[in-house]
Amino acid sequence: LPRRMVPVPTVPRPQWGNDDSNTIRVMQWNVLSQALGTNNDNFVACPEAALDWNVRRPLMLQELAAACPDIICLQEVDHYKFLETALSPLGYRGLWEPKPDSPCLYVQDNNGPDGCALLWRADKFTLVEEHRATLHVWRIPSNQVVLLAVLRHEATGRELCVATTHLKARAGALMSTMRNEQGRDLLRFVQAHAGGRPVLLAGDFNAEPSEPVYRTVLQHPALRLASAYSKDDGDLDDGGDGDGGDPVADSAQAEPAYTTWKVREEGEQCHTIDYIFYTRSAFSVSALLDLPTGEALGPGRAPSFRYPSDHFSLCADLRLRDPRPEPR
């Protein structure tokens, strides 16, 4: 694949242990539901044959296998059985949580509901707890879910809280408010189950960094999260880059230019809406999978015969920081 893991130059040198065993590779990917991609999305510049499941399926597996993530967070999964079966020989175990009233069920030839999936390498992690919930908006259940696993990292014995979600889609002020309310409920849920453990929260938030939910996530007073793909160091404690400005705005400004890029009837849709958030004090980002350039994508953008989804997979190498206090 013409994408590579790019080292982050500013990361501090590891203070303890073997470098590799302390680094966890996390993937975030909205894989594009097969039912929605072929029936609902109306990708006007994508050849119909590129949406065929027999074409997309090997591309999806190739992308997952090539990245070799330790933890995989996926959305719009409407072929979980297939993924589980295909990834099991590669050493993955996983969970899946469907949406309560998936739009997939209303299209012809669907393969059941779509939902969030969370997979991990069984040689590196052991499942300790699993939790699922429907996200609420003003105490009313919505059609969006969160899937959470507490995983024990065998190399260090530390437990991590890993969660994934796919927030409400569509543009407009009401939808943006809904996403923010879902974000608040999501963070409540994550905090309740994290119990002080380091958190990894990856998903399709359907929200640009300028939306309220981005701020809601980064300003959560207890979870203290940062965004892996933001070039800003995410240190909100020192006022961000030290310019006395708004650290969340600095982080938003430093997000990539897009995580999804497609062509619909109304034109090109190029947005940053997918994120990998992590506990600031617990990890350093040591490398990131670069995003395909506009040139690599071509005029049809995605999906295509090379990229099976309209969203691009994100991959972050997160190095666990030493939990022990510095010796005096």
Considering only residues 133 through 152, tell me which ones interact with ligand NDP, judged by CB under 6 A: 143
Binding mask 19-38 for ligand NDP (x = CB under 6 A): -----------x-----x--
Examine residue 259 and tell whether it contacts ligand NDP (CB under 6 A).
no
Question: How many CB atoms are located within 10 Å of the residue 141 CB?
Answer: 14
The sheet carrying 199-204 orders its strands as 125-137, 140-153, 158-166, 199-204, 274-279, 225-227
Residue 194 Cβ vs ligand NDP, minimum distance, rounded to whole Å = 25
User: 6 Cβ partners below 8 Å, 6+ apart?
Assistant: 287, 288, 289, 290
Restricted to residues 205-234, the positions that interact with ligand NDP (CB under 6 A) are 206
191 HSE (CA, 13 A, CB side): 13
Asked if 168 is part of the footprint of ligand NDP (rule: CB under 6 A), the reply reads yes
**CA end-to-end distance (rounded Å), the chain:** 47
Q: Identify which of residues 16 and 106 has a Cβ nearer to ligand NDP in the complex.
A: 106
Tokens of 166: 């796919």
Q: Is 78 in the site for ligand NDP (CB under 6 A)?
A: no
Whether 159 and 150 have beta carbons less than 8 Å apart is answered as yes
Q: Name the pairing type of β-strands 158-166 and 199-204.
A: parallel
* Residue 106 interacts with ligand NDP (CB under 6 A): yes or no: yes
Q: Is 204 in the site for ligand NDP (CB under 6 A)?
A: yes
Tally of CB atoms within 10 A around 303: 24
Is 84 near ligand NDP (CB under 6 A)? no
Nearer to ligand NDP, 197 or 262 (CB): 262
Based on the shown chain and the rule CB under 6 A, indicate whether residue 101 belongs to the binding site for ligand NDP. Answer: yes
Contact stretch for ligand NDP (CB under 6 A) within 53-61, 168-176, 216-224, 288-296: 168-176
Question: Strands, E, within 138-240: which ranges?
Answer: 140-153, 158-166, 199-204, 225-227
Using CB under 6 A, count the residues that bind ligand NDP. 15
Span interacting with ligand NDP, options 8-16, 151-159, 164-172, 287-295, rule CB under 6 A = 164-172
Stretch that binds ligand NDP, among 51-59, 96-104, 189-197, 211-219 (CB under 6 A): 96-104
Q: What angle do CA 314, 187, 219 make, to 5 degrees?
A: 85
Positions that interact with ligand NDP (CB under 6 A):
30, 36, 40-41, 76, 99, 101, 103, 106, 143, 168-170, 204, 206
